[in-house]
């Protein structure tokens, strides 16, 4: 996938182009940069990851591509309590599938969101993984989990073919 694909997967979930967002498990920032393209420069994006070298690469990419955007690389583990302000939105792209026990994570993410907050999940459309994507969650299972964790509604907002597990989708869940 390329930058346009990343933007397309997020586009239907962002809503207002301003606010405070977080990209949880951002890695080198492919989806952080897509989010930056969709949000105005007054917005704030917390890019959260445990990998310092990935965050360093993200800093370089932000300076080169979005120097006026307020992107705050944050060294933290999103499975632990995060010191973030109330968020308008969260992106979790290719990060939840590394965790078998998803419910506590999803509940914690919901608690980070403002009452009308948005969670945009980008995930592989499968319920069985492989060594690189150990615990994917299909859209049908995601919708069930999101409802169980207190999200009001969930809709599929995009999909792209994938060489790993046939398809990757994006979904918007509203708090």
Average pLDDT over residues 84-103: 96
Q: What is the pLDDT of residue 172?
A: 98
Q: What's the Cα-to-Cα distance from 167 to each of 4, 49, 64, 68, rounded to whole Å?
A: 16, 24, 30, 34
- Domain spans in the chain, listed from the N-terminal domain onward: 3-174
Q: What is the pLDDT of residue 115?
A: 96
Q: Residue 12 in contact with residue 40, Cβ under 8 Å?
A: no
Q: What is the pLDDT of residue 72?
A: 97
> Which residue is associated with the tokens 């999909």?
159
Is residue 165 scored above 90 in pLDDT? no
Average pLDDT over residues 110-119: 97
Is residue 164 scored above 90 in pLDDT? no
Q: Residue 91 in contact with residue 22, Cβ under 8 Å?
A: yes
Chosen CATH of 3-174 out of 1.10.3720.10, 3.40.50.150, 3.30.2130.30, 3.40.710.10 = 3.40.50.150
């Amino acid at each position: 996938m390329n930058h346009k694909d990343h933007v397309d997967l997020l586009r239907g979930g962002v809503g207002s182009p301003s606010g405070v967002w977080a990209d949880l498990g951002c890695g080198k920032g492919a989806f952080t940069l897509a989010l930056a393209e969709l949000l105005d420069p007054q917005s704030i994006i917390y890019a959260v990851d445990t990998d310092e070298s990935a965050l360093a690469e993200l800093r370089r990419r932000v300076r080169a591509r979005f120097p006026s955007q307020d992107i705050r690389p944050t060294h933290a583990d999103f499975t632990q309590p995060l010191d973030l302000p109330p968020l308008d939105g969260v992106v979790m792209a290719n990060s939840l599938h590394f965790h078998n026990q998803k419910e506590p994570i999803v509940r914690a993410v919901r608690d980070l969101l403002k009452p009308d907050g948005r969670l945009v999940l980008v995930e592989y459309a499968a319920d069985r993984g492989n060594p690189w994507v150990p615990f994917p969650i299909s859209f049908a299972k995601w919708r069930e989990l999101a409802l169980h964790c207190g999200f009001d509604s969930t809709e599929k907002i995009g999909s792209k073919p994938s060489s790993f597990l046939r398809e990757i989708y994006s979904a918007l869940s509203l708090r």
